[in-house]
Amino acid sequence: MNLIFTGPPGAGKGTIASRISEELKIPHISTGDLFRKAIKEKTPLGLRVESILASGELVPDDVTCGIVEERLKLKDAVDGFILDGFPRTIVQAEALSGITRIDGVVNFLVEDQLIIRRLSGRRICRNCGAGYHVDFMPPKKEGICDVCGGELYTRPDDAIEAIQNRLEVYRVQTSPLIDYYRRKDLIIDVDGSPDAASVTTDVLKLLTRLQAHR
Ligand code: AP5
Ligand code: MG
């Protein structure tokens, strides 16, 4: 299945995508993760986008679309994929429609108040990228990754001013995609506010139904 996970920052797209990706054995492709990897490795792309990510603004469409097009050519994406955080503008959605077919767009619904709580408590492993939350998904040992023992850090764009900006950018530039994909009958709405295990179960049920109707 070729899937898109959309929704505001902190809706749980990355957390749920990594679980569903394991379950369905299809790759989880997050443009945010690809940019953060480039920043960590100080590649020309990373140097170009570092300040954009820190502010919560969007990377230009041509740069983002080029990266996704290259990633989708890799062998592991032939039998399906989860795009997390892409597309984020109508221009990106139009570009994507010229590259591949999309079977469903999972739209995670979460209120702003919970989003702010989730993002301000998020911690990421500097080494392997695993995600945690100080209250909702704490690591066994504070500040240390359960998976690899790496150091946990707070994303620069999880500072409160950047969170507010990301919510505004989402409202203005990304949320019009919901109507865009609803008109194509591809939207699958999911309540993203319960705990991660419940949301994962709900998404899997909805995807099983989608597969049965294809
Ligand atoms: P990106 O990395 O995509 O960030 P985002 O969309 O702001 O989304 P987040 O990763 O913050 O939220 P999420 O929904 O994945 O939530 P998560 O699962 O982590 O993009 C970063 C930046 O890159 C953008 O601002 C932009 O600059 C650039 N960029 C990326 N894509 C682009 C594009 N297409 N075009 C242009 N620019 C682009 O969960 C959040 C927290 O909550 C975690 O701590 C988690 O543990 C916790 N949590 C999650 N789910 C639950 C749950 N169900 N219950 C309890 N806690 C939960
Ligand atoms: Mg994410």
Tell me which residue of 68, 61, 74, 75 sits closest to 4, measured CA to CA.
68
| Tens-digit pLDDT profile for residues 1-42 | 999 999 999 999 999 999 999 999 999 999 999 999 999 999
Ligand at minimal distance from the CA of 91 is: 1
* Nearest CA owner, ligand 1 atom 40: 10
Task: Find out whether the beta carbon of 52 lies less than 6 Å from any atom of ligand 1.
Answer: yes
Q: Is residue 122 part of a domain?
A: no
| Tens-digit pLDDT profile for residues 166-199 | 999 999 999 999 999 999 999 999 999 999 999 9
Task: Find out whether the beta carbon of 129 lies less than 6 Å from any atom of ligand 1.
Answer: no
CATH label of the domain that carries residue 48:
3.40.50.300
Check residue 151 and give its pLDDT: 97
Check residue 213 and give its pLDDT: 81
Spatial separation of the C-alpha atoms in residues 103 and 85, rounded to whole Å = 16
Distance 14 CA to ligand 1 centre (A): 6
Task: Find out whether the beta carbon of 10 lies less than 6 Å from any atom of ligand 1.
Answer: yes
Domain of 8 in residue numbering reads as 2-110+164-212
Q: Is residue 138 part of a domain?
A: no
Q: Which residues are catalytic?
A: 13, 88, 122, 155, 166
| Tens-digit pLDDT profile for residues 80-122 | 999 999 999 999 999 999 999 999 999 999 999 999 999 999 9
Is pTM beyond 0.85 here?
yes
| Tens-digit pLDDT profile for residues 114-133 | 999 999 999 999 999 899 99
Task: Find out whether the beta carbon of 195 lies less than 6 Å from any atom of ligand 1.
Answer: yes
Tokens read off for 214: 């294809």
pLDDT at 214 over 80: no
pLDDT at 59 over 80: yes
Distance 12 CA to ligand 2 centre (A): 7
Check residue 152 and give its pLDDT: 97
Reported as a pLDDT band with limits 50, 70 and 90, residue 77 is very high
Q: Is residue 190 part of a domain?
A: yes
Tell me which residue of 126, 33, 130, 9 sits closest to 82, measured CA to CA.
33
Q: Is residue 96 part of a domain?
A: yes
Q: Is residue 152 part of a domain?
A: no
Q: Is residue 134 part of a domain?
A: no
Number of residues in the chain? 214
Q: Closest ligand 1 atom to the C-alpha of 131? A: 46
Q: Is residue 120 part of a domain?
A: no
Check residue 19 and give its pLDDT: 96
Q: Is residue 29 part of a domain?
A: yes
Distance 37 CA to ligand 2 centre (A): 13
Task: Find out whether the beta carbon of 90 lies less than 6 Å from any atom of ligand 1.
Answer: no
Mean pLDDT value across residues 48-61: 96
pLDDT at 145 over 80: yes
Tell me which residue of 116, 137, 114 sits closest to 125, measured CA to CA.
137
Tally of domains in the chain: 1
pLDDT at 155 over 80: yes
Check residue 156 and give its pLDDT: 92
Ligand at minimal distance from the CA of 195 is: 1
